[in-house]
Amino acid sequence: MKPIVTLALTFLFLQGLAQPTIDQFMSAPSASGLAVSADGKQLAWILNERGKRNIFFRNTTGQTRQLTSYDQDDGQELSQLTFSPDGSRLIFVRGGDQSREGHSPNPSSLAEGVDQAIWCAVLATNEIYKLAVGSEPVFYPDGKNLLFSKGPQIQTIAVEKGSVPSQLFFSRGNNGDPRFSPDGKEIVFVSYRRDHNFIGVYTLATKKIRWISPEVSMDLIPVWSPDGKRIAFIRMPGLRADELISFVGGRKFSVWVADAATGKGAAIWNSPADDGGFAQMYPSPLLSWTKTDRLLFFSEHEGWDHVYSIRPDGSDIRDITPGNGEVESYTLDAAGANIYFDGNREDIDRRHIWKSGVADGKVLAVTSGEGIEMYPSLAGTELYCMRSTINQPAAVTRYEEKTRKFESLSALSSPSFASQGFVRPEQVIFKSPDGTTVHGQLFIDRAIKGKRPGLVFMHGGPIRQMLLGFHYSNYYSNCYAFNQYLASVGYAVIAVNYRDGIGYGRNFRRAKDQGPWGASEYQDIVAAGKFLQGLPEVEVTKIGLWGGSYGGYLTAMGLARNPELFKAGVDLHGVHDWSFRAREFSPGGGWGITGTDMGTAYLNSPVSDLSKWTAPVLLVCGDDDRNVLFQETTDLAERLREKKIPTEILVLPDEVHGFLRYESWRQVFEAARDFFDRKLKG
């Protein structure tokens, strides 16, 4: 039975006495970036409240206070929270990564400019000061100095106010991912050299570098053994002449263990096929060496992205996260005997937390229900995670395993947020024409009577999965809120998890003929549109679609290919010409498109045939987009205008691909709702 307050709110909406606003659905603060001190007694996290990002700190007595006081929706990100070894300081990074032109995101067009910089907070006094321009801070074991990245070299700086950074050493390539040896005397790092990578070790006392088993390969993710005598890492083949990395392809990989002193090593495990790439990029942590002397790594070689445990000599490999479900992150307990991991096993369209033995792989369910629990973290013996629900975005949450109770630590109220206005998303499963099973979430307010327009929403990526509740990423948390808002104002929305996405196994993610190779996923979008047409509440002649990035590509595909089905679309920063992307964005465009593939890539692009396109479209893009060229939108807009197709444009100066300002999202969603109202309800 629906709560009385929900029915009352719906009645008011229908009577025109209180129209819902987008702020009521997306203005609640959302948390991210939980950090735990080494002793497990202090916590820190980031809270985004209507674009105002701040750090909150929970001390040893359990008291929580706001650490920073940024009071503007300026789009300046906070990230990489790191406690000093003694817990007296908290390091964080403010600002986003630089573009190819060397500019950090400045979506508020601040005249003084912005940078990405490392800041230090002295927790006892609340003093906060800027240390240096850079990112990826790593404390020295003594807590008095930091390593950090700036450009291609690793820098070092004392944590005292007014300190001046210096270069740690010089090495060719782009050097990063530094990790101290257990005794603190050496630093292992990766030297990225375009077509190959080396693992290096820098000795602080001698100021010398030695290389670990150098080869014609891509060596990644080095970790020290607990005794500091060995180094494990992942090895993939180096790039051949004219070889281009494909986003949807895979690579063979192996787990190596080398002697830290001599650099000599050997593979202890080899993937049976091209099972690498995604599993060594998407989840976290990518490689661990436990106190119980076992190595943990991710692989998809059995069909799902799972964590595998193996002895350093290559014996006793086992899947310690078995079952039909993906794993995206895990944390080790203090003894290194168990992991807590998140995944969608047994609840495919949500995320929950599970516990597993590192040696035996025995899995126990920890959380369950209708919430979404992600990113487990241990503070001593206490378990924390990010948890969202159908009507509350991600919050830092403590979970009591014995009582199975959740305690939210970060959720703050917002005067404009109305959690009672949400509908319960319905899991829907349907078939594409080729028999592929596709999952989605249906947003429909069944208290609203009569026929209504239908909308198909498509996520980007494409390696994403929409869930039955607020998403754990900011971009898709906002999209989820907008789908809820659309339902509240009289639309039926289906968020479709088309093939190419995560959550349903390797074969689903690596579907044949996707994107530039055949757009096979597009038939899932058509199937979703027809699913909406089959609902008695939906007006069959008023189906629209919207999405961002890859979802923008699929929006344009729908309007170009099936005008009899899709009557209006909102396209956020979509790719419209695969061949243009492969020429101008990056070699191959990330999909491995070679010169001989350009014709096929173009034919599977919306711009290849606009002869059927008749429906109106709203094109949205930020002009500092670092993921999709702004010209993709310019080109499509001019082509459509030449054809006299009703084309509306919303450009956000200086915004990036994943809009950083709350005001940007609000502006986009209000424009999209107005557009759909005029085109599908008018």
How distant is the alpha carbon of residue 565 from its chain centre? 31
Please say if the pLDDT value at position 411 is more than 80. Answer: no
From CA 393, how far away is CA 579, in angstroms rounded?
38
Answer whether residue 453 is part of any domain. yes
Average pLDDT of the residues in 354-379? 97
The number of folded domains in the chain is 2
User: Considering the entire predicted model, what is its pTM?
Assistant: 0.96
**Cβ neighbours for 273, distance < 8 A, ≥ 6 positions apart:** 250, 252, 301
Q: Tell me the one-letter amino acid at 421.
A: G
Q: Is the pLDDT of residue 1 over 60?
A: no
Mean pLDDT of the chain: 95
Burial class (CB in 10 A: 0-12, 13-18, 19+), 10: buried
Q: What is the pLDDT of residue 8?
A: 38
CA gap 666, 514 in Å, rounded: 32
Give domain status of residue 258, yes or no: no
Classify residue 546 as left (phi > 0), alpha (psi -120 to 50) or beta: beta
Q: Residue 259 domain-assigned?
A: no
pLDDT digits (tens, 9 = 90+) for 59-84: 988 899 999 999 999 999 999 999 99
Asked whether residue 390 is domain-assigned, the answer is: no
Burial class (CB in 10 A: 0-12, 13-18, 19+), 381: exposed
Is residue 446 assigned to a domain?
A: yes
Please list the residues that pair with 94 across neighbouring strands: 78, 117
pLDDT digits (tens, 9 = 90+) for 544-572: 999 999 999 999 999 999 999 999 999 99
The domain that holds 77 is classified in CATH as 2.120.10.30
**Where residue 26 falls among pLDDT bands split at 50, 70, 90?**
very high
Question: Of 168, 197, 230, which marks where a domain is finished?
Answer: 168
Count, in order, helices (H) and strands (E) of the chain. 10, 40
pLDDT computed for residue 14 by the predictor: 42
Residue 6: inside a domain: no
Spatial CB neighbours of 241, under 8 Å, sequence gap ≥ 6: none
Residues 320-333: tens digit of each pLDDT: 999 999 999 999 99
Whole-number Å distance between alpha carbons of 211 and 159? 29
Q: Say whether 390 sits in a helix, a strand or coil.
A: coil
Q: Are 531 and 433 in contact (CB under 8 A)?
A: no
Are the beta carbons of 581 and 604 closer than 8 angstroms? no
- Supply the CATH number for residue 673's domain: 3.40.50.1820
Domain boundary among 168, 194, 209: 168
Q: Choose among 63, 70, 87, 76: nearest CA to 114.
A: 76
**Hey, what are 134's tokens?**
């850079």
Range of lowest pLDDT (131-145, 235-249, 266-280, 289-303): 235-249
425 is a domain residue: yes
Of 132, 152, 168, which residue constitutes the final position of a domain? 168
pLDDT of residue 89: 98
List 551's β-bridge partners, or say none: none
Q: What is the pLDDT of residues 35-48, one digit of tens each?
A: 999 999 999 999 99
Q: Any residues with CB less than 8 A from the CB of 4 and at least 6 apart, and which?
A: none
What is the average pLDDT across 516-536? 98
Residue 423 lies in a domain: yes
Instruction: Note down the domain range covering 547.
Output: 419-681
Q: Where are the beta strands (DSSP E) in 290-420?
A: 295-299, 306-310, 318-319, 327-332, 338-343, 352-357, 363-365, 372-379, 382-388, 395-400, 405-408
